[in-house]
């Protein structure tokens, strides 16, 4: 089963407005998909999360589902850590 695309732009904007705070994106169908997306966030491979290193991503389990959380750490990658 394929999920619909998630619009990350509003979450990325909220992260930039609140550096260092974690923001929930959505639940993913598998922990592998969630972790891969977290890697893409950190590497700036998703257009909403550029430049590389400006955002951090982590996966938390909620009600048995992997959920991606992101935060803005600054363009240098160190702010808010």
Whether residue 33 is contained in a domain is answered as yes
Question: DSSP 3-state assignment of 65?
Answer: strand
Range of the domain at 32: 9-72
What's residue 77's pLDDT?
A: 54
Whether residue 64 is contained in a domain is answered as yes
Domain count, the chain: 1
* DSSP designation for 3: P
**How far is residue 55's CA from residue 81's CA, in Å, rounded to a whole number?**
10
Whether residue 52 is contained in a domain is answered as yes
Whether residue 26 is contained in a domain is answered as yes
Whether residue 79 is contained in a domain is answered as no
What's residue 81's pLDDT?
A: 41
Q: Compute the Cα dihedral for 47, 49, 52, 57 and give only its sign.
A: negative
pLDDT in tens, the chain (81 residues): 566 789 999 999 999 999 999 999 999 999 999 999 999 999 999 999 999 999 999 999 999 999 999 999 997 655 444
What's residue 37's pLDDT?
A: 97
Triad 23, 47, 6: Cα angle to 5°: 55
The phi, psi pair for 46, rounded to 5°, reads -105, 130
Whether residue 81 is contained in a domain is answered as no
Q: Please tell me the pTM assigned to this model.
A: 0.88
């Amino acid at each position: 089963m394929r999920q619909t695309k998630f619009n990350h732009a509003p979450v990325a904007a909220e992260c930039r407005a609140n550096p260092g705070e974690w923001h929930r994106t959505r639940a993913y169908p598998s922990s592998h998909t969630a972790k891969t997306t977290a890697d893409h966030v950190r590497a700036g491979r998703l257009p909403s999360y550029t430049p590389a290193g400006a955002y951090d991503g982590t996966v938390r389990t909620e009600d048995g589902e992997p959920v991606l959380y992101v935060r803005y750490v600054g363009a240098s990658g160190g702010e808010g850590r």
